[in-house]
Structure 1
Amino acid sequence: MRTWTILDYNQWDQRTKGQCRSRRSLVSVVVVIVIGVMILAATTGTRSRYVSSSPSINPLNTRFAWDTGNSLQDERHRGTKKLPRALIIGAKKSGTRALLEFIRVHPNVRAAGHEIHYFDKNYWRGPEWYRNMMPTSIHGQITIEKTPSYLVTLNAPERVHRLDKNMKLIVVLKDPVERAISDYIQSREKHRDKRSFEDSVFIDVGKLKINDTKPCIVIGKYSDHLKRWLQYFPREQFCFISGENLAKNPASELEKLQEFLNIRTVITEEHFYYNSTKRFPCLKKREASGVPHCLGETKGRVHPTVLKSVKKALYDYYKPYNEELYQMVGIDFGWERTRPISKANQIY
């Protein structure tokens, strides 16, 4: 039988105390873990009560209001980004920006704020990039994108058809002579070109020989451009807006567009007032705002004076294209009725 010494008792006592301390530490750790799990469970339950009323939201994928600063109501209805179902494809300097600003007042319309240029300059980036450039939308809303250069881009019709053969196409058309003058003004300011309008569009001003390679002239040959689009899309998928009537009576053109988009008529004459300074209609209420809104300073520029003989030469040049256009779309825009009769060098 072993005889215990004082040294043995001291060693045994130290081991026992160490084991007790280890057990106490282990118990403390377990208690902390249990408390943490209980707190986490309680927090998760609280969050679930806030979001469970919206069946379309997955709590595991939701960023909560206290993380973003938005209200819970905004988080439930923030929607997703979708590819556009309607395009404003042109024409440049015909009122496309005004039309976009007007139609986006509608609660069922979401629109990209700037020109994306996907089907002409950025097609290589792919449809996912294009989708990510769109605003978020919820069920029942239609997304619209505007890039006027699509109308004259050779391979744009085929590319749009490849993305969505049911795409709705919106075309704003303006008197091609007045459109060419507007285009010239914008180009002159952008490039600081000091040439007159006549020098810009004529090869020989004296003989009134038109330079039909100039972009401001080419764009106005609407029938040539629409032939390519009509090879891929039926006439019923187009909505043609008169640029002149959009400036004079925007409510009537917006009524036609809302019907075309299959959305209820919300935008009426009550949404507009005429700005005598800009000589263009403005919105009484901007999107998501009660503040009146007019287009920017670059819109509604004053046109330069142009000789009647110059305008007549341009109307004569566009006449066959206009007549072909009227037959193609079934609309007589009546641009020839503003054609000058006199050949004299008078200011028009």
Structure 2
Amino acid sequence: MSDDTLPPMDFIVIGAIKAATTWLQAQLDQHPDISIPEIEPHYFTREHSRGAAWYRSLFPDTKAAGSLWGEKTADYLAKPEAAERIAKAYPDVKLIAQLRNPVDRAYADYKMLFRRGTVTGPPEQYLTWLDNEQPRFLNDGLYAAHLRRWMRLFPPENLLVITFDDVRDHPQRTLTSVLEHLGARPYDDPEAIARRYNDSSEKLLPMPVRKALAPLKPLARPYRDNALFRATRGLFAKPISYPPLSSDLREHLAEFYSQDVRELESMLGRDLSHWVPATSQTPPSALALQVDEHAQALSNCMHTGGNDEKIT
């Protein structure tokens, strides 16, 4: 195999961020016929310059007959360049998109970067308008705008869309539908299915300690489920206190996403009205204009190749 040969991929989980994609990755990793890297490669976004040989190195040396190879990178969904690059490299690949109530997703994404220390201000600083230092919080939840891009590049039968609600309420049924989409034989691990991943309520070490220990994180990963390791960590870990999402800001976000959610319902033929409360009316003109302009910019980006901005 030459150094510039890409791995023979069967599927890619494209996101969204904070929509239970880590749960799905864990389920697929348990399947005896599926190979999926533990890390998010980001090969078709910020790590593309590392080249095909690096991407290929994330997979086994050989691919057994009947096995399926895939990866999960949750930022692909919202990145125009990812859709174009994947379509060029793997025009027949199976895609899985996981969506979540965009209001909850935006706040969950904010909380993730808050506990990492990437953002320090209140939610209002980042979740009011797109024009802020973390536009991904709002942008990544405009699912209809993003899925439209993928649907232009791939046949409809190649794309499976599931939701956070599906995983929460019917995990076994959801996993079964995913495996059927991939053409994989039925398989389940009840313990893994019931486990929560990337839980924002999980206790964490103080930020200075986490930063000091960051270089050792890869070495500690194999021991995370060890009882002694967990007990020792528990002595120092503390719950994180997050700035709350106010009812006014939640209503504002529902208005921001209402038009996109309606379009998504039409695209998927699915009722998602519980994502946008009935009290939320048509977005105010200024907010509607911002969403429309941003959607148009996303569409234009589809034809200009996007960009490779690095996200956290």
Question: Which residue of the other structure, out of 21, 24, 27, is the alignment partner of 1:99?
Answer: 24
Q: Retained in 2: the 8 A contact 1:255–1:268?
A: no
Cα offset for 1:129? 3.0
User: How does 1:1-348 map onto structure 2 within 5 Å?
Assistant: 82-136=7-61, 137-191=63-117, 193-202=119-128, 210-211=129-130, 214-267=135-188, 272-273=193-194, 304-336=243-275
Structure 1 residues 301 and 160, CA, compared in 2 at 3 Å: closer, same or farther? Answer: farther
Can you list the C-alpha shifts for 1:175-227, whole angstroms capped at 9, x where unaligned? Answer: 0000000111111122353311123222xxxxxxx335621001111111111
Q: How many residues align?
A: 239
The letter for the 2-side match of 1:211 is L
RMSD (CA atoms) = 3.1
Structure (1/2) with the larger strand percentage: 1
Tell me what 1:48 maps to: none
Letter in 2 for 1:129: W
2:218 aligned residue? none
Higher RCO (CA < 8 A, seq sep 6+): 2
- Separation (CA, whole Å) in 1 of partners of 2:241 and 2:33: 34
Identity %: 26
Code of the aligned partner of 1:97:
T
The answer (yes or no) to whether the contact 1:171–1:239 under 8 Å persists in 2 is yes
Paired AA for residue 139 in structure 2 = V
Q: What amino acid is aligned across from residue 47 of structure 2 in structure 1?
A: N
CA distance in 2, matches of 1:187, 1:326: 29
State the 1:135 CA deviation: 3.4
- 1:273-320 CA distance string (max 9 Å, x none): 367xx699xxxxxxxxxx899xxx99x988653222211111111011
Alpha-carbon deviations, 1:109-142, whole Å to 9, x = none?
1101101111112323433332222235421110
Q: Deviations over 1:55-81 (max 9, x none)?
A: xxxxxxxxxxxxxxxxxxxxxxxxxx9
Contact 1:83 1:134 in 2 (8 A): no
Flag the 1:84–1:211 CA change in 2: closer, same or farther, 3 A: same
State how far apart, in whole Å, the 1-side matches of 2:57 and 2:192 are: 31
* Partner SS state of residue 149, structure 1: coil
Letter in 2 for 1:240: V
Moved over 4 A (4+): 268-271, 300-304, 337-341
Gap regions ≥5 residues in structure 2: 1-5, 202-224, 228-233, 281-312
Question: Deviations for 1:71-94, whole angstroms, at most 9, x for unmatched residues?
Answer: xxxxxxxxxx94321001110111
Q: Given the superposition, is the C-alpha separation of residues 101 and 338 from structure 1 closer, same or farther in structure 2, using an over 3 Å criterion?
A: farther
Equivalent AA in structure 1 for residue 169 of structure 2 = K
DSSP-derived class of the 2:116 partner: helix
The structure with the larger Rg is 1
SS at match of 1:113: coil
After superposition, the C-alpha distances for 1:145-197 in whole angstroms (9 at most, x for unaligned) are 11111112222222111111101111110000000001111111223533111
Stretches of structure 1 lacking an aligned partner (at least 5 in a row): 1-80, 203-209, 281-290, 342-348
Q: Distance in 1 between matches of 2:18 and 2:195?
A: 20
Q: What is the TM-score when the length of structure 2 is the normalising length?
A: 0.68
Contact 1:242 1:333 (C-alpha < 8 Å) held by counterparts: no
Secondary structure class of the residue paired with 1:251: helix
